[in-house]
Amino acid sequence: MPKRVDPDTRRELIADAVIDEIAVHGLQSVTLARIAERTGLAIGSIRHYFGNNVRELMRFTLRVLIQRAEQRAPTLSEDPTTRIVDVITFTAPTSEQERKENIALVEYRVMGRADAEIGAEIAAASAAAAAAIDPLLRAALADRAIDEQALHRETLLLITLVEGFSLSSALAPTPLHATDVRAVAEAAVRRLRDAYEPLPKNQEA
């Protein structure tokens, strides 16, 4: 008897086929027939999970992409400054699979401008990323004289750096090199710390 594939594994297989299709041909090319061809599944099997509804298939794949991005948690350094570098490096697409997933996410972000539901999911993921960076930055600059407004601007700068890596990777034929990403992240964080005067020892947070 052929080995039975559980429903969650089959859905992941379908999501991976959608990601591959988007990476090669773009969002508009996704159809049930194309995904059936990529997976080797009967089109009826795909309809079993998603009906005759490409939109539901697309929303499911977006959730998979966001979950994978959130679950790729790195082992972070205990040093607050190095932790920021670790996070930026881990979020950059430095493998072929991450590059494909990143291309799909960039396509979804464009789609979200005209699709309120997709846009809301993308916005929520972006807000969560910003919320994660803020405490890391506060810890890294705890010994520096910096006010809330400046902290907000520096958080935006780091988010822009992450998004810049994302966009440049989506336009490139190969993944980014982790060593290059790390070197850029280290330079950015070093500039951050050097831009603010150290606090007197008795005022450090």
Q: What is the 3-state secondary structure (H, E, C) of 99-112?
A: HHHHHHHHHHHHHH
Count of CB atoms within 10 A of residue 12's CB? 15
For residue 62, give the 3-state DSSP assignment: helix
Closest CA to 112 of 72, 66, 152: 66
Q: Which position has the token pair 């810890």?
A: 139
Q: How far apart are CA 18 and CA 195, in angstroms?
A: 44
φ/ψ region of 26 (left if φ > 0, alpha if ψ in -120 to 50, else beta) reads left
Which contiguous run of DSSP H or E holds residue 46?
Answer: helix 43-50
CA 40/CA 35 separation, integer angstroms: 8
Mapping DSSP to helix (H, G, I), strand (E, B) and coil, where does residue 79 land? coil
What totals of helices (H) and strands (E) does the chain contain, helices first?
A: 9, 0
Torsion of CA 153, 124, 99, 10, to 10 degrees: 170
Cβ atoms of 157 and 151 within 8 Å: the answer is: no
What are the structural domains of the chain?
7-60 (1.10.10), 72-203 (no CATH)
205 residues of the chain, pLDDT tens digit each: 344 667 888 999 999 999 999 999 999 999 999 999 999 999 998 999 888 889 899 999 999 999 888 777 667 788 999 999 999 998 899 999 999 999 999 999 999 999 999 999 999 988 888 888 999 999 999 999 999 999 999 999 999 999 999 999 999 999 999 999 999 999 999 999 999 999 987 665 5
Question: Residue 46 is which amino acid?
Answer: I
